[in-house]
Structures are given as C-alpha cells and as structure tokens.
Amino acid sequence: MLALDFDGTLAPIVSQPDQARLPDSTRHLLQPLALRYPCIVVSGRARSDVTCRMEGIALAEIIGNHGSEPWSDLEPLRCWTARVLPVLRQCLSAIPGVEIEDKAASISVHYRRAFHRQRVIDMTSAVATDLGAGALIPGKYVLSLLPPGALHKGQGLLRALDAFGCSHALFLGDDATDEPAFALAAEQRVLGIRVGYRAASAACLYLKNQSEVDLLLHRILSARS
C-alpha cells in the first residue's frame, strides 16, 4: 500500500489552509499510481475536505481527522469538539491572526499569521488540559486537538492495511502528526519516509523538501511499470 499525507506532503504548505491544492504534476503521477497500487491519503483534515481535493484519482481510501474517519464512531468525538469550540474561541478571540478550524471530529488552531504565537500555544494547551483532550499534537504553526478516543494516523493506517489485505505500506508524511505512522516500522509493516529531515523522527528515510515528492512518486511509478 502507498499511504500519503496531504498538507506538506502531496500539497505544499500555504498560509491559509483552505487554499491548499494538489499540484497538477502530482495529480498526473498519482492517477496511474492508484491503478497499480492500493493508494490512500491519511490526513488531519476532515475526510470530506480531502475528498474534494483528490477528485479524479482512484484512491482506495481517504482517511480523515488523523485516523478516525472512516473507522470510528464519530458521534462522541463531535460531542467533545462541540463542547470545546466555544471555550477555545473565547480564549483566543483577543489574539489577531488565529484561525480555529472545526473539523467535527477534531479541532485545529492555526497561528501562522499570529504575532503572539507562544501565547496561542500556552492558551490552547491550557484548554486542552482543562477539557480533557485525548491528544494535543503540534505541527507547522498549527495545534491539533483530538478528542478522547480519537485515532491517530498510525492506528488509521493499520486499519487500512487490514481492510485491504496489504502486508506492508510505504508511508510519506512531513509532520509530528505523522510520527505514529512512522513508528510502525518497529512492527516491520511500514516504511516511513519523512519530507524534511528531523533527527528525532521515527521515519527510516527522508526527502530534503516537498519539491522532491514528485521525484519519489515518479520513481515508484517507473519501478512498477
């Protein structure tokens, strides 16, 4: 199985998350790859959000909300986010440049355009602790709040491997939210490739930057051809 993160991996990071898009060059490589391998996307975005951005590619599955969609009962997760969102919005309302993204089964706090970034981190961390978040995962100028019982990307990927009868996967990601999937290398089922070197990462291999993703996809396609 070929498993891919979206933001920072398939799509370059942008200042406004809603403007992220799959480059045409990457789309043209993924279309034939998806006919040769079971290909999935494992994203922190909501599944419906990723689905519209991957239109025209015959993916085996799109896993959203870090791993919870489509594998989990979303109702308890939605109840938690509905309780936390008003508190989070009130706490962060006085800080310009913060965008709070409601993904139904999780929450993302984007602070790339905020001047008082450490204040955003501290206040979001306090809310996550006070209201019992299942996990608070730092990313590239984003904090992801996962409800109790939510799945992470490693769990979502393992369920996909089992669902499609695949013995192994190559997983490509770029951020802290991808580390649970990289860590699966210990089970000898997943080869992790990180976009951007990080010494502490559990990924076995890395690419220098996002611009090398197309080169990797091209080589995988050529090998299978």
Q: Band of the pLDDT at 34, cuts 50, 70, 90?
A: very high
User: Is residue 24 flagged as an active site residue?
Assistant: no
Rounded Cα gap, residues 213 and 65, in angstroms: 23
pLDDT over 80 at 29, yes or no: yes
Specify the pTM: 0.93
When the candidates are 3.40.50.720, 3.40.50.1000, 3.65.10.10, 3.40.50.1820, the CATH number that belongs to 2-70+151-224 is 3.40.50.1000
Q: Band of the pLDDT at 17, cuts 50, 70, 90?
A: confident
Q: Can you spell out the DSSP letters for 8-38? A: TTTB---SSGGG----HHHHHHHHHHHHHS-
pLDDT over 90 at 189, yes or no: no
Cis peptide bond N-terminal to 23, omega within 30: no
Fold held by 74-146: Alpha-Beta Plaits (3.30.70)
Q: Tell me, what's the pLDDT at 166? A: 95
Rounded Cα gap, residues 121 and 195, in angstroms: 24
Q: Tell me, what's the pLDDT at 54? A: 97
Contact between 110 and 139 under an 8 Å Cβ cutoff? The reply is no
Q: Tell me, what's the pLDDT at 188? A: 75
pLDDT exceeding 90 applies to what percent of the chain? 94
Using DSSP's 3-state secondary structure scheme, residue 146 falls into strand
pLDDT over 80 at 223, yes or no: yes
CB-count exposure of residue 166 (10 Å: 0-12, 13-18, 19+): middle
pLDDT tens-place string over residues 149-184: 999 999 999 999 999 999 999 999 999 999 999 999
* Extended beta strands in the chain, E state: 2-4, 39-42, 61-63, 99-102, 107-110, 135-138, 142-146, 169-173, 190-195, 205-207
Q: Band of the pLDDT at 185, cuts 50, 70, 90?
A: confident
Mean pLDDT of the chain: 95
Domain residue spans in the chain?
Answer: 2-70+151-224, 74-146
Distance, first Cα to last Cα, the chain:
16
Query: Residue 41 corresponds to which amino acid?
Result: V
Q: Which of 5, 7, 174, 178 is catalytic?
A: 5
Rounded Cα gap, residues 146 and 138, in angstroms: 11
Alpha carbon of residue 116 to chain centroid: 25
pLDDT tens-place string over residues 81-140: 999 999 999 999 999 999 999 999 999 999 999 999 999 999 999 999 999 999 999 988
Q: Which of 148, 198, 145 is nearest to 173 (CA)?
A: 198
pLDDT over 80 at 64, yes or no: yes
pLDDT over 80 at 186, yes or no: no
